[in-house]
Amino acid sequence: MKNISILAGTLGAGFIGSFHSYSLAMQKLVKERHDVNLVLKCIADTDQKVRQEVKERFGYLHDEEHWQKLITDKQINLFVNAAPNNLHLEPCIAFAKNGVPILCEKPLSGNADDALLMLRSAQQGGIVNQAAFIHRFIPAIRYMREIIKSGDLGEPIHFRSSYLMSDYLDPTLKMSWRLDHKVAGLGTFGDLGSHHIDTARYLIGEIKDVFATARINVPEVEGKKVEVDDAFASIVTFDSGMVGTIEASRVAAGYGHFGRIEVDCTKGSLQFQVGKLNELNIAEGINKGFRTIQVIGPEHPLSDFWWDGGVQGSHPIGWVECFVHQMHHFIGAVIGKNNVEPLAASFKDGYRVAEIADQMVMSWKHNQRVEIKFRE
């Protein structure tokens, strides 16, 4: 008999909000279900049509226009923030003061100052907190980390990543919150770059300095000025002294939605592509070339999450399943009152990623290498 009840409140019913709502609804269908009565209590969004569609689709009991209504509902004891960046700070601080666990979409905030306030409020409230960096829940990325940590390929010596999209080249592009500096805070540094900054830290370790450059290639949309970058490139140095490159673009024609992460070690290399979630390319030796591993077997991470015999019975998984993995980890931490680290990102990780992204922008603006000084 389930004696623990979780009543979830979600802010944001858009694209990412739908993913998080799906991941909540799917918790009752995974193999390793938590012994908990999970209720989708309320969805909040200012767009009435969108929020009511999400309410009906995923089974929320109620919907509200404003996030403040979630705060006044004292039954809500788990908060998922999937709103635009400028709506991360105030709701998260309010829920933290109420002692409610929080899963907040990345980037944690549009700037490091606000992210630091969110971290401190979570620490003061003593709550379970998780930043939604989804790459950590891709089995191939998890397996990549295991291989690096094992030392089987020697010491890591170089990191490379690219996150490339083409959507801002669309002549019918509409103005959105991601193009509005007041809402987003950062352009590709925060929206796309934060994914790979966190993945670099997850696979290799902390970043100690950066040198970056960027450009605004689409300066106007629907007659409105755009003040956030749409392409950047950076060189990073890790605490170990290892160097790496991180780049992102929303003006990369032909790519659609493409990501690549590579790690070179002294005895081999690893390659991963976002479009091939179930594959990891591995080179064992200096001149032997790469072989492809299908990361869906019983020996691989998250292998028994769905059914016996490997990930989904040794069948491929998709992007939304990774969101289910992420939510399952968060709920498990809430039940056990545990820290979500190291497999998931905490608000501390979210703050540090925001600090690194901010310093990349500083490097771009001043055309100089910047040392990262964390303040938490």
Rounded Cα distance, 296 and 112, in Å: 37
Give the CATH number for residue 164: 3.30.360.10
Domain identity same for 155 and 217 = yes
Residue 247 inside a domain? The answer is: yes
Which range marks the domain in which residue 270 is found?
136-317+353-366
Is residue 375 assigned to a domain? no
One-letter amino acid for residue 365 of the chain: K
Q: Is residue 110 part of a domain?
A: yes
**CATH code of the domain in which 58 resides:** 3.40.50.720
Residue 337 lies in a domain: no
Do 82 and 175 lie in one domain? The reply is no
Structure tokens at 307: 């059914």
Q: Does residue 233 sit in helix, strand or coil?
A: strand
Q: Are residues 107 and 184 in the same domain?
A: no
Is 127 a domain residue? yes
Q: Which amino acid is at 87?
A: L
For 347, the 3-state DSSP assignment is helix
| Domain stop point among 88, 114, 134 | 134
Length of the chain: 376
State the pLDDT at residue 298.
76
Helix 15-25 and helix 319-336: axis angle, to 10°?
60
d(CA 97, CA 75): 15
Are residues 102 and 144 located together in one domain of the fold? no
Whether residues 95 and 192 share a domain: the answer is no
Give the DSSP letter string of 58-116.
HT-SEEESSTHHHHH-TT--EEEE-S-GGGSHHHHHHHHHTT--EEEESSS-SSHHHHH
In angstroms, the CA 282 to CA 293 distance is 7
Contact between 2 and 34 (Cβ < 8 Å): no
CA pair distance 105, 110, nearest whole angstrom: 11
- Does residue 330 lie in a domain region? no
Beta-strand relationship, 268-273 and 257-265: antiparallel
Same domain, 108 and 170: no
Query: Domain check: are 211 and 283 in the same one?
Result: yes
Per-residue pLDDT of the chain (376 residues; tens, 9 = 90+): 467 899 999 999 999 999 999 999 999 988 888 999 999 999 999 999 999 999 999 999 999 999 999 999 999 999 999 999 999 999 999 999 999 999 999 999 999 999 999 999 999 999 999 999 999 999 999 999 999 999 999 999 999 999 999 999 999 999 998 998 888 889 999 999 999 999 999 999 999 999 999 999 999 999 999 999 999 999 999 999 999 999 999 999 999 899 999 999 999 999 999 989 999 999 999 888 999 999 987 778 877 676 665 444 567 788 999 999 999 999 999 999 999 999 999 999 999 999 999 999 999 999 999 999 999 8
Could you tell me if 166 and 45 lie in one domain? no
140 and 115 part of one domain: no
Question: Which of 103, 134, 165 marks a domain boundary?
Answer: 134
**Residue 354, CA distances (Å) to 22, 55, 61 in order:** 27, 32, 34
Q: Cis peptide leading into 342, omega within 30 of 0?
A: yes
Q: pLDDT value at position 233?
A: 98
Does one domain contain both 29 and 82?
yes
Kindly state whether residues 94 and 234 are assigned to the same domain.
no
Number of domains in the chain: 2
Check whether residue 157 and residue 65 sit in a common domain. no
Contacts of 255 (CB under 8 A, 6+ apart): 164, 165, 166
- Domain for residue 26, yes or no? yes
Q: Looking at 99, 134, 169, which one is the last position of a domain?
A: 134
Residue 223, phi-psi category: left (phi > 0), alpha (psi -120 to 50), beta (remainder): left
Residue 326 domain-assigned (yes or no): no
